[in-house]
């Protein structure tokens, strides 16, 4: 006994996983390391920056800027919707 199927099997394609490569500029990495080593900056900021650098967080620039400005940690929870990719020179 034969089976007749009018539907054709769809060719399976592998699922594509979306990966986003975040690259951190050398300048931002240096600024982050400088903040992490600056003992005058709140240790909580230094830990946040250390972790953000480790995971290549797209918010790293904002976090470093806020830490350098001496903002309180509690005030830093109001981030904009998009990270700022500004390049500033340190004086």
Give the N- to C-terminal CA distance of the chain in Å, as an integer.
Answer: 85
Per-residue confidence (pLDDT) for residue 72, from 0 to 100:
86
Which pair of tokens denotes residue 9? 């099997």
Give CA–CA dist 47/80, Å, rounded: 21
Per-residue confidence (pLDDT) for residue 15, from 0 to 100:
60
Residue 24 confidence class, pLDDT cut points 50, 70, 90: confident
Find the length of the chain: 91
pLDDT reading at 7 higher than 60: yes
Using a cut of 0.85, tell me whether the model's pTM lies above it.
no
Per-residue confidence (pLDDT) for residue 13, from 0 to 100:
65
Better-predicted residue by pLDDT, 6 or 24:
24
15 CB neighbour count, 10 Å cutoff: 5
Per-residue confidence (pLDDT) for residue 79, from 0 to 100:
55
Phi, psi of 49 (to 5 degrees): -65, -40
Phi, psi of 83 (to 5 degrees): -65, 145
Is residue 65 classed as helix, strand or coil in its secondary structure?
helix
Per-residue confidence (pLDDT) for residue 78, from 0 to 100:
54
User: What does pLDDT average to over the chain?
Assistant: 78
| 59-74: pLDDT as tens digits | 999 999 999 999 888 7
Q: Which residue has the tokens 């050398």?
A: 26
Q: Which of 40, 38, 41, 62 is nearest to 52 (CA)?
A: 62
């Amino acid at each position: 006994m034969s089976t007749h199927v009018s539907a054709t099997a769809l060719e399976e394609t592998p699922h594509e996983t979306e990966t986003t490569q975040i690259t951190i500029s050398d300048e931002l990495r240096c600024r982050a390391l400088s903040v992490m080593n600056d003992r005058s900056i709140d240790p909580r900021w230094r830990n946040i920056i250390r972790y953000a650098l480790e995971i290549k967080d797209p918010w790293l620039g904002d976090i470093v800027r806020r830490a350098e400005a001496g903002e309180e940690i509690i005030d830093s929870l109001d981030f904009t919707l998009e990270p700022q990719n500004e390049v500033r020179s340190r004086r």
